[in-house]
Amino acid sequence: MTTDQFGVDGRTAIVTGASSGIGKAIAERFAADGADVVVCSREQDNVDPVADAIADSDREGRALAVECDVTDRDAVEALVEATVEEFGGVDVLVNNAGASFMASFGDISENGWETIVDINLHGTYHCTQVAGERMREDGGGAVINLASVAGQKGAPHMSHYGAAKAGVINLTSTLAFEWAGDDVRVNCIAPGFVATPGVESQMGVSADEIDREQVERRIGTSEEIADVAQFLASPAASYVVGETITAAGVPDIMETPDV
């Protein structure tokens, strides 16, 4: 049985928020499979080590680090221009850049609300519109948005984040319909708890402690989200359009009570 259809070799991918966690894992996975990756973050010093590590490894793909604040339209346009100049085009966009903080709805200031929505939703708008224009001109591509189960079900003390991610999920299905005729596939991943550095600092669970073979669990690894991202970027997902794939371990269900 061939597995070539699951590969991303020869493609060029932009991964936002790639300095650590899920974004870093996706960039490393793509590069290992032969894709050229552009990794970006708000601080150049945070993303340079990711590109350097890819370059110094035995991964086949090349890497370029670009400083980019996804809420700044000029910076996003410069990001895409740098990608095209370095690698000749854009085949895949992974909208991973995001941020949040925990607070009850009544305690979220207008500035706090706008900041979280701006990064998670408005940033996705900027990157998708600019990179997507290039994809459509060049004959197609794949957009992979990172949402959250908080955008599907809601989450206490994360109303701003959940609302923004719900917007990302809706944008995914709407844009998938609009851009299908241009051969651009738009899909979304909604992770649950993932052992990123941020989650590790809050919950004390390290990715090294997680057994990927164990089905009965509620926390995953960044590499497991990278698995899904590679699938969605590959030809194997050619018939998957406008979908949000939930990667959150064992689901919550209504169980029969003990009597």
Q: How far apart are CA 219 and CA 211, in angstroms?
A: 10
| 251 secondary structure, DSSP code | P
User: In this structure, is residue 1 part of a structural domain?
Assistant: no
User: In this structure, is residue 45 part of a structural domain?
Assistant: yes
User: In this structure, is residue 255 part of a structural domain?
Assistant: no
**Low-confidence residues of the chain: pLDDT under 50:** none
Q: Which tens digits make up the pLDDT trace of 186-230?
A: 999 999 989 877 666 565 666 666 777 788 888 889 999 999 999
Strand bridging mode 92-95 / 63-67 = unpaired
**Host H or E run for residue 93:** strand 92-95
44's tokens = 């150049």
What pLDDT is stored for residue 80 in this prediction?
98
Please give the tally of structural domains in the chain.
1
Helix (H, G, I), strand (E, B) or coil at 241: coil
Please report, for the domain that includes residue 116, its CATH number: 3.40.50.720
What pLDDT is stored for residue 204 in this prediction?
61
Q: Mapped to the 3 state alphabet, what secondary structure does 117-165 carry? A: HHHHHHHHHHHHHHHHHHHHHHCCEEEEEECCHHHHHCCCCCHHHHHHH
User: In this structure, is residue 88 part of a structural domain?
Assistant: yes
75's tokens = 């910076």
241's tokens = 């359009």
User: In this structure, is residue 150 part of a structural domain?
Assistant: yes
What pLDDT is stored for residue 162 in this prediction?
98
Sequence-ordered list of residues with C-beta below 8 angstroms from that of 229, at least 6 positions apart, any chain: 26, 29, 30, 94, 144, 189
The residue from 161, 167, 196, 230 that is catalytic is: 161
What pLDDT is stored for residue 208 in this prediction?
63
Query: Chain-wide mean pLDDT for the chain?
Result: 93
pTM (predicted TM-score) = 0.94
What pLDDT is stored for residue 200 in this prediction?
60
User: In this structure, is residue 218 part of a structural domain?
Assistant: yes
State yes or no: is 239 an active-site residue: no
Q: Which domain holds residue 21?
A: 7-247
DSSP string, 1-57: ---GGG--TT-EEEESS-SSHHHHHHHHHHHHTT-EEEEEESSHHHHHHHHHHHHHS
